Structure 1
Amino acid sequence: MLKRIVTSIIGLPIVVLIIAYGGLPMKLLMVLISAIGMFEFYRAFNRGTKIENYISYLFIAIYYAFIDRLNSDILLMMLFSYMLLNLAFLVLNHSKMTPFDAAINVFGFLYIGFLLSSIYLTRVHPYGRFLVWLIFTSAWGSDTFAYFTGITIGKHQFTPILSPKKTIEGVIGGILGAMLIGFLYAFVLTKTTNIGNEINAITLFVIMSGFGAAFSVLGDLTASAIKRYTKIKDYGKLIPGHGGIMDRFDSIIFTAPVVYMVLRLILIYK
Structure 2
Amino acid sequence: MLIRIISGVIGIALAAFIVQTGGNVFAGAGLLLAFGAWHEYCNAFREKGYKPTLVTGMVLISVIWAGGWLGNAGFLVGATMFSVLTVMLLTVLNHDNFDVLSAVISVAGVFYIGLSFTHLVMLRFMGVEAVIPTCLGDFQLGCAFLWIALIGTWASDTFAYFAGFAFGKHKLCEKISPKKTIEGFLGGLIGTTASVAALGVFFGLDLSLMAVLGFFICIVATLGDLVESVIKRYTGIKDSGNIIPGHGGILDRFDSVLYTAPFVYYFMIIVLGN
Q: How does the TM-score come out when normalised to structure 1? A: 0.90
Q: For 2:78 and 2:231, locate their aligned partners in 1 and report how far apart those are by CA, in whole Å.
A: 30
> Alignment partner of 1:268: what SS?
coil
Q: Does 1:42 align with 2:68?
A: no
Mapped pair 1:188 → 2:188: no
In the TM superposition, residue 159 of structure 1 has moved relative to its aligned partner by 0.9
Give the aligned partner of residue 130 of structure 2.
Answer: none
Counterparts of 1:208 and 1:118, CA distance in 2 = 17
Q: Per-residue CA shift, 1:66-116, capped at 9, x if unaligned?
A: 324334421232122222211221101001110011111111111112112
In 2: Cα distance, 1:172 partner to 1:65 partner: 38
Q: Which residue is 1:78 aligned to?
A: 79
Q: CA deviation at 1:63?
A: 2.5
CA distance in 2, matches of 1:10, 1:133: 17
**Take 1:91 and 1:189, find their aligned partners in 2: how far apart are those partners?**
53
CA distance in 2: counterparts of 1:46 and 1:238, whole angstroms? 18
Q: Which residue is equivalent to 1:67?
A: 68
Secondary structure of 2:239's aligned partner: coil
Q: Would you say the 8 A contact 2:52–2:102 is kept in 1?
A: no
1:267 alignment partner, SS class? coil
Structure 1 counterpart of 2:154, which letter? W
* Correspondence for 1:149 among 163, 169, 175: 163
Matched, 1:125 2:139: no
Partner of 2:231: 226
Q: How many Å separate the matches in 1 of 2:23 and 2:226?
A: 32
- Report what 1:193 is aligned to: none
Q: Contact between 1:34 and 1:113, CA under 8 Å: does it hold in 2?
A: yes
Does residue 1:263 correspond to 2:264, yes or no?
no
Give me the whole-angstrom Cα distance separating, in 1, the residues matched to 2:4 and 2:50: 29
Q: Where do 5+ consecutive residues of structure 1 fail to align? A: 191-195
The match for 1:208 is 213
Q: Judge conservation of contact 1:174–1:213 (CA < 8 Å) in 2.
A: yes
Quick check: 2:152–2:218 contact (8 Å CA) kept in 1?
yes
Question: Aligned partner of 1:189: which letter?
Answer: F
**% identical aligned pairs:** 35
Is the contact made by 2:67 and 2:73 (CA closer than 8 Å) also made in structure 1?
A: no
Paired residue secondary structure (2:6):
helix
Distance in 1 of aligned mates of 2:213 and 2:81: 32
Preserved CA contact (<8 Å) 1:138 1:210: no
| 2:196 matches 1:169 | no
Distance apart, 1:119 and its partner CA:
1.6
Contact 2:18 2:25 (8 Å CA) reproduced: yes
The one-letter code sitting in structure 1 at the alignment partner of 2:110 is F
Corresponding residue of 2:99: 98
For residues 18-68 of structure 1, give each alpha carbon's deviation from its aligned partner in whole angstroms, at most 9, with x where no partner exists: 111111111110000001101101100118995832122012222333324
Q: Which residue of 2 aligns with 1:9?
A: 9
Q: What is the identity, as a one-letter code, of the residue corresponding to 1:41?
A: Y
Could you tell which deviates more after superposition, 73-82 or 219-228?
A: 73-82
Say whether the 8 Å CA contact 2:67–2:79 is kept in structure 1: no
Measured in 2, the distance between the counterparts of 1:214 and 1:133 equals 17
Q: Contact 1:142–1:174 (CA<8 Å) still a contact in 2? A: yes
Q: Which runs of 5+ in 2 are unaligned?
A: 128-140
SS in 2 for 1:236: coil
Gap change, CA 1:150 and 1:52, over 3 Å in 2: closer
Query: Which amino acid counterpart does residue 234 of structure 2 have in structure 1?
Result: Y
What TM-score do you get using the length of structure 2 for normalisation?
0.89
| Counterpart for residue 251 of structure 1 | 256
One of 120, 140, 144 as aligned partner of 2:154: 140
The secondary structure found in structure 2 opposite 1:166 is strand
Deviation at 1:162, TM superposition (A): 1.4
